[in-house]
Amino acid sequence: MAKKRPGVFWSTVLTLVVLYGFMEFVFPYFAMWVAGTDHLLPAPSAFMLIYMALALIASLVYVYSDDEKIREFWAPVLALLREDENRRTIQVRKVLAVVLPLLVGAYLFFQQMPRANPPLESRMQHPTIPGKYEKLRNPYRDPEPGLVRAFMQERNLQGVPEAKAKQMLIQEYVMEGRMLYGKNCVPCHGAKVDGTGLLARGFRLKPANFTDPGTIATLVESYPFWRIQEGGVALPSEASPWDSAMPAWKGQLTDEQIWKIILAEYDLAGVEPRVVGMK
Ligand code: HEC
């Protein structure tokens, strides 16, 4: 067993580590100098991969050029796996048996872990609404006199002033909307409409927080109507990166139900929709 000098195996490993270190830590300075920029230019990962793969192939070609080198290259590996029975080797085996699965586990964990930091590309939160939705308005925010009168008939409210009855009717729509919201939207958008439902943590692109002045308060009501009907799949590419988990509700909820949910959503969030022109 070659114990004195590093041996073919370890010198190969060392060469690869040095090359990797060069690419990772020295190359960005070199690239910055060549390109004349004032910030570091790290090597793109695809380039790194090709470079390291070539370095590995070159090392193996070198090792496999000679029978003696092949034997020497594999000697430490074979010794660790089966031949050597001295105490240190046995200890190394034990340590590896623990450390390797931990390393693989940690790698996978950090790969999969949802990250809180925003992506480099900027995401457009509110892409343009499709034309056919633009003109829609919420029929329940300011119900027609006909609806109010029917409601008064139904509830025997003849003595009540019409304006008051209208407020009661709207309140009724809001309550219906709240029920529907509670049934369908709470798991993601949360009971307090702040985007902290039970499922919310699982999504990289967080469910919208309706109390945030940057969401529904900046929008005309037809906008959430579009978003609720068509969901995340209908978002154009400007709204990437990160796929939206917002479901499309058009098969599940009627237009009327969606308008009532919207009414409730603004009500729960304590904000008013943006109004264009006169109402
Ligand atoms: C599976 C989780 C989930 C459920 C259930 C869900 N949403 Fe969403 N919703 C999201 C996510 C994630 C976003 C943010 C990404 C986006 O804009 O598509 C979002 C965005 C929205 C937006 C856009 C807000 C904005 O500022 O553009 C509206 C409106 C909305 N949801 C309403 C609802 C309503 C109403 C319901 C119930 C009928 C509902 N959502 C159910 C996950 C969900």
Q: How far is the CA of 251 from the centre of ligand 1 (A)?
A: 16
Instruction: For residue 200, give the DSSP letter.
Output: G
- Single out the residue in 38, 62, 91 at which a domain terminates: 91
Pocket test for ligand 1, best of 125, 128, 174, 189 (most atoms within 8 A of CB): 189
Q: Please report whether residue 119 resides in a domain.
A: no
CA-closest residue to ligand 1 atom 13:
207
Residue 246: which pLDDT band, with cuts at 50, 70 and 90?
very high
Q: How far is the CA of 195 from the centre of ligand 1 (A)?
A: 9
Query: What integer is the mean pLDDT of 252-276?
Result: 93
Q: How far is the CA of 248 from the centre of ligand 1 (A)?
A: 9
Q: Kindly state if the Cβ of 242 falls inside 6 Å of ligand 1.
A: no
Which residues lie closer than 8 Å to 170 by C-beta, 6 or more apart?
A: 140, 141, 143, 263
| Closest CA relative to residue 271, chosen from 214, 232, 230 | 214
Calpha distance 211→74 (Å, rounded): 63
Calpha distance 178→124 (Å, rounded): 29
Residue 112: is its pLDDT beyond 60? yes
**Chain-wide mean pLDDT for the chain?**
89
Q: How far is the CA of 212 from the centre of ligand 1 (A)?
A: 13
Q: Are residue 137 and residue 265 in the same domain, yes or no?
A: yes
Give the count of alpha carbons within 13 A of 150, CB side only. Answer: 5
Res 126: pLDDT: 87
Q: Kindly state if the Cβ of 189 falls inside 6 Å of ligand 1.
A: yes
**46-64: per-residue pLDDT in tens?**
999 999 999 999 999 999 9
How many distinct structural domains can be found in the chain?
Answer: 2
265, 266, 271, 276 alpha-carbon torsion, rounded to 10°: 140
Q: How far is the CA of 149 from the centre of ligand 1 (A)?
A: 34
Query: What integer is the mean pLDDT of 196-222?
Result: 90
Q: Are residue 148 and residue 259 in the same domain, yes or no?
A: yes
Calpha distance 54→70 (Å, rounded): 19
Q: Which of 121-125, 235-239, 250-254 has the lowest mean pLDDT?
A: 121-125
Atom of ligand 1 nearest to the CA of 205: 12
Residue 33: is its pLDDT beyond 80? yes
Structure-block tokens of residue 258? 């969606």
Residue 105: is its pLDDT beyond 60? yes
**171-188: per-residue pLDDT in tens?**
999 999 999 999 999 999
Q: Are residue 45 and residue 151 in the same domain, yes or no?
A: no
Res 121: pLDDT: 60
Q: Please report whether residue 142 resides in a domain.
A: yes
Q: Kindly state if the Cβ of 199 falls inside 6 Å of ligand 1.
A: yes
Q: Please report whether residue 121 resides in a domain.
A: no
Q: Please report whether residue 275 resides in a domain.
A: no
Percentage of residues of the chain with pLDDT beyond 90: 61
Q: Please report whether residue 274 resides in a domain.
A: no
Q: Kindly state if the Cβ of 184 falls inside 6 Å of ligand 1.
A: yes
Q: Please report whether residue 112 resides in a domain.
A: no
- Single out the residue in 36, 63, 91 at which a domain terminates: 91
Q: Which residue segment(s) compose the domain that 170 sits in?
A: 131-269
User: Length of the chain, please?
Assistant: 279
Calpha distance 96→103 (Å, rounded): 10
- Comparing 234 with 83, the larger pLDDT belongs to 234
Q: Please report whether residue 158 resides in a domain.
A: yes
Give Cα separations from 135 to 20, 122, 239, 253 (angstroms): 58, 28, 22, 20
Query: What integer is the mean pLDDT of 95-119?
Result: 87
Q: Are residue 70 and residue 144 in the same domain, yes or no?
A: no
Res 117: pLDDT: 66
Res 158: pLDDT: 87
Calpha distance 18→12 (Å, rounded): 10
Q: Kindly state if the Cβ of 232 falls inside 6 Å of ligand 1.
A: yes
Residue 279: is its pLDDT beyond 50? no
Res 118: pLDDT: 60
Residue 119: is its pLDDT beyond 70? no
Q: Are residue 145 and residue 34 in the same domain, yes or no?
A: no
Q: Do the beta carbons of residue 185 and residue 228 sit within 8 Å?
A: no
Cis peptide bond N-terminal to 241, omega within 30: yes
Calpha distance 69→73 (Å, rounded): 6
Q: Are residue 85 and residue 136 in the same domain, yes or no?
A: no
Residue 242: is its pLDDT beyond 80? no
Instruction: For residue 207, give the DSSP letter.
Output: P
Q: Please report whether residue 101 resides in a domain.
A: no
Pocket test for ligand 1, best of 188, 233, 265 (most atoms within 8 A of CB): 188
Q: How far is the CA of 26 from the centre of ligand 1 (A)?
A: 45
Atom of ligand 1 nearest to the CA of 216: 26
- Single out the residue in 37, 72, 91 at which a domain terminates: 91
224 SS3 class: helix
Q: Are residue 185 and residue 74 in the same domain, yes or no?
A: no
Q: Are residue 172 and residue 259 in the same domain, yes or no?
A: yes
**142-174: per-residue pLDDT in tens?**
999 999 999 999 999 988 999 999 999 999 999
Res 189: pLDDT: 94
Q: How far is the CA of 166 from the centre of ligand 1 (A)?
A: 29
Which residues lie closer than 8 Å to 185 by C-beta, 6 or more apart?
A: 197, 261, 265
